[in-house]
Amino acid sequence: MTDSNTLVFAEVRYCCSEHFGGALNSVTSIKQKKIRLTAAPYLQAHQQLQCGRRFDVIGLTHAPRDRVHAAGLRFDWIKNAFY
- pLDDT (tens digit, 9 = 90+) per residue, 19-49? 777 888 889 999 999 999 999 999 999 988 8
29 Cβ neighbours under 8 A, 6+ residues apart: none
Give residue 68's domain range.
Answer: 2-82
CATH number at residue 15: 3.40.1350.10
Rounded to two decimals, what is the model's pTM? 0.81
When divided into structural domains, the chain yields a total of 1
pLDDT tens-digit series, residues 1-22: 999 999 999 999 998 877 777 8
